[in-house]
A and B are shown apart, each in its own frame.
Chain A
């Protein structure tokens, strides 16, 4: 490669200059993520270390904390099941079907990304709260939606809807229908084709979407805060526990639970990266 630097009488040899610019850019990038992302992680690890081992043990042994983790788990499992099953159906329709209203469907899928979680919680209040559209019927049936598990699951599903769909649609579009057609020609039924061919093709994309859904529903706070009523030991999730701990100036237990959540999400992140790589490898071959 010829060097335009020579035309302008460079102060430094071009190789040195290039290395300096590259090195500078890399240093700025590393410094930025270091200050913005890594430093806070070190901060919380340090705070928990300061709190000491006995605080960690006593916090994790609290029945409230254990119930909070349990509730977060229940909400996450239900959300993952619902958004995966219906997500694959919606993805199939968006990728494979053509009909008026398909664009509207895509817009509806993206809508939760644009809505603040607080607004999602408000939606549930407007529908199921006092004076809400569905409130009279559910009250007459004696079913409790608001300030109970159903509304907490509903808002989490709303927020997590896009993840599976947005990962599966491009995979479906890229693998095309050749294999499915071959299976059908060879006599497989629709269901057989779906489970043996389609599902196998989208598996990494689907797992990727599920991992994103899990991470998001574990961490959800704004929507759940509004609909849960924050009843300790009943409708308090892990994130709600952390919020209450800080409201009541119980910083140390708050730090411990928050660090636990951070560690869980970093494990999930490693899974996410693995699925992403698998899927990319599959697309390349």
Chain B
């Protein structure tokens, strides 16, 4: 993603047209992030707008020679999504501690077939089916590269809880993928 520095300069100075142009440029990247962290498009757009506001507010802190613009806005968007998630108090997720025996799906999934048959939209919809906290933790860990320690700091939980959420997400996702690939199971 190439962004004209003059466009950034104008957007920083409050030029509405420049901000609009920047919004259009950033929209797909930010939307891709938001759709992973939110349940539907409406929530994703709301989060995107908040993130874009932060981008506008912090444009003067952006150092072009240090980090690519796309990575920078992606990082801001992730942080915004996490902040909003915490602010909206969606922590009160119902966590059911069932005594069901965890099933291991690794052995019966053909990952090559999964890669061929499943596209991003499929996977995105699967992520959105996860419980909210589990969704955030799995996104942060598996797709955005945060460590369990960082996740525990960001979300205010222990590292063990973070690991549990990741494992829980994996089990769920594998189960759903298996179902997608072989509806008979």
Q: Do A and B come from one complex?
A: no
Interface residues, chain A, CB within 8 Å of chain B? none
